[in-house]
């Protein structure tokens, strides 16, 4: 455990750059749930994304897109959040159960679409079981009532002889689904939200909902609706709900056309996490709740420009290499902040601001897919407190619809080498994984890596995501334009490792 997640020494050039790693300096175990996902009824995320009814060529008998399932399985997401997002704030779950031909089509108020309700609770649960992921359901605190929320939880989780549990049985599912994670509303603070509330009204309502839900099912984990982590909403709500919820949710999307603003944006999330963590501590003190379990659930994050990829037009982003580097930096944030972050959900999984893009004939993997996959596959274990000597970015900072001009003042160490590391045991061997984003647009780095311990003579390996053009993208026509190369490398303790300009590298070092 630690107060600070890394130490930085600012140096004037990459010639002096250095990464020091002591496997004993453990910050906290990485919760695998930081590699979770999110599916919303928005654009082509559900229909045409994870399911494609009528597309016999690419689906199974349930309509699941098998190519998408495989691409998502490779991302190894422990939990998937559903059904929104803004969508949930006018979603009535009862519309989405029972015989499909009887399900009503409804106007949809978040993205001004129409919802067929063909994919509902039982379909989502079947998909989760097929994918071996844990479901996380966000409740409707917009047009929804507490009664309706309790009914949903009873339908999913109860094994008693009561109405909604029996309705589930009637719909073909005997055993409860045992959904553990339930969110108390989505972005309730936002003027774009159906049922927007003040922080005072939200806290009162969430307090009452949490109490009732725990009477119905004391085993669930509840996620309270936070803001960015650096908002007064977070302070107020945390203080009111510290004894009622298990997680505090945070959302942030970063993006900018300017390369440096784009790749440094995720540092705002790191400050948000640190500030929120301090708010939890304050609430524990003032509310006399020393044992409150409170963790951060960063249940929407990504690179997204909502003007460029408008939600009401399906929010289909075309990610370039710089966006992939930003996603790698986002993942570095979650690894470094392992002590505070209990879950994080990339928004979203497919087609909508997503790493996977489909057409009726197939899919391609966006640039952002690759860093996420490498992190989820390898960056688990104990997060380490790393020391990095690196040049630092001193220019302007900014975000998309949220201004991040404050960032450079609040975070003076916008490092050009952005690093996180984990230690773990793999097949009986102690190994280190070091994730390095070289955020310099112009300069290759060769950086000394010093490990406090003995490095095995062989057993170093690297994966590199690089392209000479920061604007390079993958498309259906050119799906492998931006790709990962991997190779076994020789590494002696203290020797220099090359990190090309604007690249992401994952380095594995086996210890003797």
Interface with ligand AHR (CB under 6 A): 40, 84-86, 186-187, 192, 251, 300, 306, 311, 347-348, 401
**Shortest reach from residue 250's CB to ligand AHR, in Å:** 11
228/402 Cα distance (integer angstroms) = 10
Using the minimum distance from each CB to ligand AHR, give the nearer residue, 81 or 284.
81
Closest to 84 measured CA to CA, from 352, 399, 358, 482: 352
Cβ 276 vs Cβ 250: under 8 Å? yes
Using the minimum distance from each CB to ligand AHR, give the nearer residue, 149 or 352.
352
270/254 Cα distance (integer angstroms) = 12
**Shortest reach from residue 451's CB to ligand AHR, in Å:** 39
Using the minimum distance from each CB to ligand AHR, give the nearer residue, 353 or 365.
353
**Shortest reach from residue 141's CB to ligand AHR, in Å:** 12
Closest to 510 measured CA to CA, from 452, 447, 433, 422: 433
CA dihedral 133, 221, 276, 396 (to 10 degrees): 20
Using the minimum distance from each CB to ligand AHR, give the nearer residue, 206 or 509.
206
422/90 Cα distance (integer angstroms) = 41
59/119 Cα distance (integer angstroms) = 15
350/358 Cα distance (integer angstroms) = 8
Using the minimum distance from each CB to ligand AHR, give the nearer residue, 84 or 229.
84
DSSP β-bridge partners for residue 59:
65
**Shortest reach from residue 85's CB to ligand AHR, in Å:** 3
Cβ 371 vs Cβ 465: under 8 Å? yes
Using the minimum distance from each CB to ligand AHR, give the nearer residue, 345 or 440.
345
**Shortest reach from residue 1's CB to ligand AHR, in Å:** 31
**Shortest reach from residue 39's CB to ligand AHR, in Å:** 10
Using the minimum distance from each CB to ligand AHR, give the nearer residue, 90 or 203.
90
CB neighbours (10 Å) of residue 69?
A: 16
Cβ 11 vs Cβ 17: under 8 Å? yes
Using the minimum distance from each CB to ligand AHR, give the nearer residue, 98 or 306.
306
Closest to 243 measured CA to CA, from 203, 270, 276: 203
Select the residue whose beta carbon is closest to ligand AHR and give its number: 85
**Shortest reach from residue 124's CB to ligand AHR, in Å:** 16
**Shortest reach from residue 117's CB to ligand AHR, in Å:** 18
What phi and psi, each to the nearest 5 degrees, are found at residue 111? -120, 10
Q: Are strands 386-390 and 445-451 parallel, antiparallel or unpaired?
A: unpaired
């Amino acid at each position: 455990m630690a107060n600070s997640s890394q130490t930085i020494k600012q140096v004037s050039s990459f010639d002096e750059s250095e990464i020091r790693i002591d496997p004993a300096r453990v910050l906290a175990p990485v919760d695998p749930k930081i590699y979770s996902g999110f599916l919303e009824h928005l654009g082509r995320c559900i229909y045409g994304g994870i399911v494609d009814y009528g597309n016999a060529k690419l689906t199974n008998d349930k309509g699941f897109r098998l190519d998408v399932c495989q691409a998502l399985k490779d991302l190894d997401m422990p939990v998937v959040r559903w059904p929104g997002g803004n969508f949930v704030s006018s979603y009535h779950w009862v519309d989405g159960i029972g015989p499909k031909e009887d399900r009503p089509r409804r106007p949809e108020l978040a993205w001004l679409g129409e919802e067929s309700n063909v994919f509902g609770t039982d379909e989502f649960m079947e998909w989760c079981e097929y994918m071996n992921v844990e479901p996380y359901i966000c409740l409707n605190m917009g047009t929804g009532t507490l009664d309706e929320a309790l009914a949903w939880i009873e339908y999913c989780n109860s094994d008693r002889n009561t109405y909604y549990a029996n309705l589930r049985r009637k719909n073909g599912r005997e055993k409860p689904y045992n959904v553990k994670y339930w969110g108390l509303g989505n972005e309730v603070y936002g003027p774009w939200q159906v049922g927007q509330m003040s922080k005072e009204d939200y806290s009162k309502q969430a307090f009452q909902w949490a109490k009732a839900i725990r009477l119905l099912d004391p085993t669930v984990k509840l996620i309270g609706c936070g803001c960015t982590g650096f908002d007064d909403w977070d302070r107020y709500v945390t203080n009111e709900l510290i004894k009622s919820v298990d997680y505090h949710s945070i959302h942030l999307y970063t993006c900018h056309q300017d390369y440096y603003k784009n790749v440094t944006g995720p540092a705002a999330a790191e400050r948000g996490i640190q500030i929120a963590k301090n708010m939890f501590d304050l609430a524990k003190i003032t509310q006399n709740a020393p044992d409150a379990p409170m963790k951060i659930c960063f249940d929407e994050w990504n690179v997204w420009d909502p003007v460029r990829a408008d939600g009401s037009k399906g929010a289909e982003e075309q990610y370039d290499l710089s966006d992939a580097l930003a996603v790698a930096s986002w993942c570095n944030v979650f690894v470094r902040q392992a002590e505070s972050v209990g879950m994080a959900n990339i928004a979203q999984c497919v087609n909508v601001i997503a790493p996977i893009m489909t057409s009726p004939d197939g899919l391609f993997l966006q640039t952002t897919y690759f860093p996420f996959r490498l992190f989820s596959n390898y960056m688990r274990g104990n997060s380490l407190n790393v020391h990095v000597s690196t040049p630092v970015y001193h220019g302007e900072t900014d975000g998309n619809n949220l201004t991040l001009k404050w960032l450079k003042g609040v975070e003076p160490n916008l490092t050009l080498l952005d690093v996180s590391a984990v230690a773990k045991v793999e097949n009986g061997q102690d190994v280190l994984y070091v994730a390095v984003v070289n955020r310099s647009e112009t300069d290759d780095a060769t950086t000394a890596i010093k490990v406090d311990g003995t490095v095995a003579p062989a057993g170093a390996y690297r994966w590199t995501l690089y392209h000479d053009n920061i604007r390079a993208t993958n498309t259906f026509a050119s799906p492998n334009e931006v790709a990962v190369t991997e190779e076994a490398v020789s590494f002696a303790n203290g020797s220099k490792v090359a990190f090309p300009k604007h690249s992401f590298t994952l380095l594995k070092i086996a210890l003797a």
